[in-house]
Structure 1
Amino acid sequence: MSRYFSWLRRAARFDPGLRLLRESAVTTAAMLAAYGSALLIEHFAHLRVDVVVQAVVLAATAARVQLAADRYDRLLGLAVLPAAAAGAAEIGRLMTLHPNLADALFTLGTALAIWVRRFGPRAARAGGLLVLPLVALLVMPPDGGPVPGHDHTLWVALIAVVSGAWVALFQAAAVRTGLVPAPVPTPAAPAAEATAAPEARRRPGVHTRMALQMAGAVGGAFVAGRAVWPDHWAWVVLTAFIVCSGARGRGDVLFKGLQRAIGAAAGTVVATAVAGSFGPHEDAAVVLIFAVLALATWLRELSYAYWAGCVTAVLSLLYGWFGQSSDDLLRTRLAAIGLGAAVGIAASWLILPLRTRDVLRRRTADALAALTELLGAPGGDRPALLRGRARFAYGAAQLELLARPLRAERRAGRSARRLTGRGAGSPTGRPYRADVVDAVAACEAPLGVLVDGAVADPALWSDPRVARLNRAVAANSAAVRRAIGRRPGPAYQGVRARIPRQSGTAPSGPPEQLRMLAALLAVDDALGTMAAVFGDPPQAGAEDVKEVGIS
């Protein structure tokens, strides 16, 4: 019982206010509506049951892609999703008639869905929708039925429209009723100077490299899967796709790949045992499938292992519903998961790899560009201040996506240091890279104080003491960005060390002004942590250290 309550407390910490649970409930409602609609269409149009499975998969996955979409993105989605579903249906036909061509088109489609992200957030969401019907192809067990005709493609497109419409309807209703918060639009990237090192700028773009990695992972999985398990190759391809999706660096893909592989294997073992309790086509198995899908949607943010375990459990239950649940198939699934994970990790590590340190530098530089822009905004320009805070919050959120492998590295390093009795620092004497993520996150609250104070009283922003400290912090932000990009210039100089000390005298002034000063000092302290990780810019010019008078 104590373990149960411990798990609940952990869930409450990862989901404050149960926002993710409420979003999961909305997604589950959309899945059930799509399931019911697809059942009706399948019955009256005399289609195969795979269209019902596809409807549920599209609703479950489109709900996540469209979560932060505005009305224009949703309209675009209702156009992209049926076209992608029709194309995927044609690829599904070719997998029986011309498998090599189908494999090539499938691989090209998954790579294209990633490559289009280079054109901005709207294109990224369209790419996310583009790949969903392809993933749905890998879910269905081989049933040996007749190859569907072209009219089947039209029905699949219709079902995709229905699934997308249910998702849009339930998400809009949830926002209108206050069940879930309104989506926050993705801010435009700030106009910033280049911060990448010269050799990094000569490499292909990030999205091009990720697309090539995905093509290598999926193409290699097709070759390996068809060679080893001609009847169950889809497990290898699906696992390689999942492992390689959203790779944010070599450390990230290795960490997530192992989590997904372990979770998938555990979910397969448990679900195969449970599926033995149900006969083929039992309704109870369908109820359990939806329950596990709802749990997977909620726990995705807690750990990729939970997500992978739940999703592969659903696939195992689905195979059991079709009457395929033998122990021999279980061993095949586990082996296919292991091979697919290995192929996905190898592709991400060997094909134009994204080094974790490069991704960390790029995303930290983007967040600091937004910080510099915010600190340089006029005090009376309320839209500029709010826009700068939103851009920084977005940059911090993007950086947080790297946090899990970096924090695992920090835990391992601290444990090793304790065992050797050398203290808690990193082997190089600098803070760990995970400290950068924490330092950027620590800036959000003080920046909120700054913006709220400047919006409430624009004169505070131009107060001489606040303005002097603001300029010093902005200069330090620029210094850290230079260190990230390895560009010459002055190094970071901590502001606290330059404040004149007056024995027994605390800074005085109006409370609002003191809060602004304390917030700027907190931001500068966080910049000091980042500077300790990234070091000094090369050939930093020697300058006199000037005092910052705020006392």
Structure 2
Amino acid sequence: MLKGMFVVPDPGRLRLRSASRSVLGIGLAVLVVALTGHPLPAVITGGLAALLALFTVTDATVRGQAMTTALLPAAGLPVLALAAGLHDQPLLRDLSFLAVASAGVYVRRWGPRGHALGVFAFMTFFVAQFLHTVPAQLPGLYSAVLLAVLASSAVRFGLWCYERRLAPPAAPALPAGTGLARTTTRQAVQVAVAGALALALGQLLSQERWYWAVGAAWWIFVNTASRGETLVRGFRRVLGTVVGIAVGLLVAVPVHGAAAPTAALVAVCVFGIFYTAAVSYSWMMFFVTVMVSMLYGLLGVLDPGLLALRLAETGVGALGAVIAVALVLPVTTHATTDAWIQQALRCVHRCTAEAAARLAGSTTADPAPHVTELAALLGRVRMSVAPLVHPLSPMRARKARARQVLALLDDCAREARGLAAVAADPAASHDARLAAACSRVEAAVLALASPDGVLAPASAQGLAVAIPAQRQHPGADAALTHLHGLERALTDLATPLRTSPRAPLVAA
């Protein structure tokens, strides 16, 4: 399993660069805070602030990333003051924590910036509970946060700003609804319920470490959109925590807070968090758990009983999330998956239209951006169907259906990439056969479109290109091959998409 993790494709070595830069940025932040005479709690707070600044800020442009990073203290420092001020008022503290948790999810409606600010605010309240922060500590913690954000920003935007040479990443999203139909509004309500359940059960386990349950429930809702996604994420969080605690017993307990080995192991954990976050939530949680174990050892409070309590609190938080997502405004895996599939099919349509126009002689048509968008959408489809294809899923018919859909969508993506490559060749030509093939692809997409999501007429116009004369050319033959492949894949998709999810799967 570990070997498989480190051979996962890393195009452009982006994960490697992100993880390496994060170790450097967080290490510099911790060093600056420590050298300026701050006590250990402030150093830990500064390190967390740097980690969040590097981990959560994902705006599409460097300018946007810099602006979001600059806003992080404005979101976190007032929350830190609130948490410290309510330290001795448990009821108000608990209600405020739930309000911050719910608001941290609600602000995701404003995209990556809202997500980053919401995470920073929530984690600031969380770390105040972790360190038992009181008002007298606020000046030191404020300066630690500001210094850490500045130091990590010097690395991200100065010393190692590789994003300036990269195209903005694709960020697919489903159309936003209104009211409780909007994902962020619905999840804000679910998080409030899940947090309340986790808080109540967590305090039954421990009056000192209850906040771990709330944190576990809150993080399970990140990057999920359906009931099934949330269940799988909860399972993966618990799995990563179990393995991390086992390693913590073997590593963190013997180290017992010794400065040099703790710093080295925390650096390894930071690298692991950033390197695995995009591909495995379980491995990310493993590294988070080991890192937290090392920090507890640094604070001098680590023992096997504390690690066992950490596991119990995580389980309670996952249970709260499962109950909330199952009973409060639930959204089924099928509904979410179908919405992402429809988005992917429309993207196939746009890619085909642009390629056809390019082959017909248009100098402005370009299918390449749609190929990139399609890859991102297929990633969302895979995430959505993860509950159905999970090894522990008992629904064999739905599992087989989901796997067939994924395979056929992968075929579509492969043919779309090939078609775009042919269209990009300036020597490629066009003949009248392409018009008929493009029309059949368009018809296949329209046949798969949901009744309430028919393609707009304007989006289909690109396929109806005028062909002045019939010509033969190898470029046209290659394009036809890809168009025929697309047509076959789209036609075969009708079987799994247009029959009952529970019906036995019949081969196309």
TM-score bracket for the superposition, by shorter chain length = 0.7 to 0.9
Residues 18 and 449 of structure 1, relative CA distance in 2, 3 Å threshold: same
Q: Is 1:265 equivalent to 2:242 in the alignment?
A: yes
**Which structure 1 segments of 5+ residues have no match?**
1-5, 415-425, 489-507, 538-551
Select the residue among 518, 543, 550 that pairs with 2:481: 518
Equivalent runs, 1:102-501 vs 2, <5 Å: 102-119=93-110, 123-139=111-127, 146-148=134-136, 151-152=139-140, 154-159=142-147, 161-166=149-154, 168-169=156-157, 172-175=160-163, 182-186=166-170, 204-280=181-257, 282-377=259-354, 378-379=357-358, 380-408=362-390, 426=397, 432-457=401-426, 460=429, 463-482=431-450, 485=452
Equivalent runs, 1:10-29 vs 2, <5 Å: 11-15=6-10, 18-29=13-24
Residues 457 and 246 of structure 1, relative CA distance in 2, 3 Å threshold: same
CA contact (8 A) 1:62 1:164 kept: yes
Distance in 2, matches of 1:369 and 1:171, equals 41
Distance in 2, matches of 1:12 and 1:349, equals 35
Aligned to 1:8: 3
Aligned to 1:32: 27
Select the residue among 37, 44, 59 that pairs with 1:53: 44
CA contact (8 A) 1:112 1:127 kept: no
How far apart are residue 354 of structure 1 and its match?
2.2
- AA aligned to 1:56 is G
**Which structure 2 segments of 5+ residues have no match?**
456-470, 501-508
How far apart are residue 435 of structure 1 and its match?
2.8
Distance in 2, matches of 1:524 and 1:212, equals 43
CA contact (8 A) 1:450 1:516 kept: yes
CA contact (8 A) 1:267 1:313 kept: yes
Distance in 2, matches of 1:364 and 1:188, equals 12
CA contact (8 A) 1:214 1:245 kept: no
3-state SS in 2 of match to 1:215: helix
Aligned to 1:548: none
How far apart are residue 476 of structure 1 and its match?
0.8
3-state SS in 2 of match to 1:103: helix
Distance in 2, matches of 1:102 and 1:113, equals 16
Q: Render the CA deviation track for 1:131-179: whole Å, top value 9, x for unaligned.
A: 2243254357756675335534642552353155145326843446xxx
CA contact (8 A) 2:408 2:489 kept: yes
How far apart are residue 312 of structure 1 and its match?
1.2
3-state SS in 2 of match to 1:231: coil
Distance in 2, matches of 1:280 and 1:450, equals 57
Aligned to 1:501: none
Corresponding pairs, count:
480
How far apart are residue 69 of structure 1 and its match?
3.4
3-state SS in 2 of match to 1:382: coil
3-state SS in 1 of match to 2:254: coil
Distance in 2, matches of 1:18 and 1:457, equals 30
How far apart are residue 335 of structure 1 and its match?
1.7
Distance in 1, matches of 2:97 and 2:198, equals 12
Q: Normalization by structure 1: what TM-score?
A: 0.77
CA contact (8 A) 1:50 1:140 kept: no
Q: Could you tell me the percent identity over the aligned residues?
A: 21
Q: Render the CA deviation track for 1:415-446: whole Å, top value 9, x for unaligned.
A: xxxxxxxxxxx37xx95123323332332232
Distance in 2, matches of 1:188 and 1:341, equals 27
3-state SS in 2 of match to 1:432: helix
Residues 439 and 33 of structure 1, relative CA distance in 2, 3 Å threshold: farther
How far apart are residue 451 of structure 1 and its match?
2.3
Q: Render the CA deviation track for 1:360-413: whole Å, top value 9, x for unaligned.
A: 111111122222233334331535533433433332233233243333269866
CA contact (8 A) 1:26 1:174 kept: no
CA contact (8 A) 1:453 1:460 kept: no
> What is the root-mean-square deviation of aligned Cα atoms in Å?
3.3
Distance in 2, matches of 1:146 and 1:536, equals 60
CA contact (8 A) 1:187 1:394 kept: yes
Residues 301 and 529 of structure 1, relative CA distance in 2, 3 Å threshold: farther
CA contact (8 A) 2:256 2:302 kept: no
- AA aligned to 1:169 is F
- AA aligned to 1:482 is S
Residues 351 and 292 of structure 1, relative CA distance in 2, 3 Å threshold: same
Q: Render the CA deviation track for 1:68-99: whole Å, top value 9, x for unaligned.
A: 63123123213321112212311321341333
Q: Normalization by structure 2: what TM-score?
A: 0.83
Residues 360 and 112 of structure 1, relative CA distance in 2, 3 Å threshold: same
Distance in 1, matches of 2:474 and 2:348, equals 24
- AA aligned to 1:248 is A
Distance in 2, matches of 1:329 and 1:203, equals 39
Equivalent runs, 1:83-102 vs 2, <5 Å: 83-102=74-93
Distance in 1, matches of 2:317 and 2:393, equals 28
CA contact (8 A) 1:63 1:167 kept: no
Distance in 1, matches of 2:307 and 2:324, equals 26
Residues 221 and 164 of structure 1, relative CA distance in 2, 3 Å threshold: farther
Residues 335 and 7 of structure 1, relative CA distance in 2, 3 Å threshold: closer
How far apart are residue 271 of structure 1 and its match?
0.7
